Amino acid sequence: MPPSRPLAFERPAIVIAAGGDGARIGGGKPARMLGGLRLIDHAVAWARRHGDAVALAVRPGDGDWGTGCPLLFDGHRDIGPISALASAFDHARAQRRPAVLMIGCDMPFLPDDLVERLSSALDGHGAALPVSRGRLHPTAALWRPDSGALDAYVARGGQSLRRFAGEVGMAEVAWDAAGPDPFANINDAAALAAAEARIRTPAR
């Protein structure tokens, strides 16, 4: 059960980055099946449990895969998920939210305390990033919308989410390394097979 929220807690907007080409998995990553559902379905279900302002960041021409989520079209091409973050900042402002959680569509095991723990750490920082097994996860991070800083970063050729988080000041939030990694992502066929096995293995 997620921890209780403080009375002043305001849910962030949540944006699912789903505009990558998924070349390493053979394309069409959001529609890849896992446990009888598409990856995009897993992501949307998780996001809707934890937020009420959920949208998809996609490439021009992409649809919503029947999810009914609003679409945010990436304004920059070929620069990776930093383009989705620009869309996420716009969405947060439109929804009048002080922060936005951006998650990848390929992270089906995200922890249920992600929003609360990152929100608690965000005070005084531009971003809060989870850490598991010694790795930062910038595609499951909470951000304060700062389009000016992001535009300037991209104009200088910046593409790394992690480096941008460093520029705006980031908090690192550690997750227990025991058990399966809640931040495992699905980048190739082997990772998809491992995730399928994980879903089919009863929890102990």
Coil vs helix vs strand at 127: strand
User: For the segment 120-135, what is each residue's pLDDT rounded down to a tens digit?
Assistant: 999 999 999 999 999 9
- Report helix angle 161-168 to 147-155, nearest 10: 130
> Do the domain assignments include residue 46?
yes
Answer whether residue 4 is part of any domain.
no
Residue 7 falls inside a structural domain? no
Q: What pLDDT is attached to residue 61?
A: 81
Is 5 within a domain?
Answer: no
176 found inside a domain:
yes
**Greater confidence, 202 or 62?**
62
- How many domains would you assign to the chain? 1
3-state DSSP assignment of residue 119? helix
pLDDT tier for residue 58 given thresholds of 50, 70 and 90: very high
68 or 23, higher pLDDT: 68
Give the separation between CA 72 and CA 56, rounded to whole angstroms. 6
- The pLDDT mean for the chain works out to 90
In a domain, 113, yes or no: yes
The answer to the question of residue 2 being in a domain is no
CB-based contact 85:143 (threshold 8 Å):
yes
Domain that holds residue 91: 13-200
Q: What CATH number is associated with residue 65? A: 3.90.550.10
Query: Quick check: pTM over 0.75?
Result: yes
Stretch 5-16: mean pLDDT, rounded? 74
Position 148 in a domain:
yes
pLDDT tens digits, one per residue of 156-174: 999 999 999 999 999 999 9
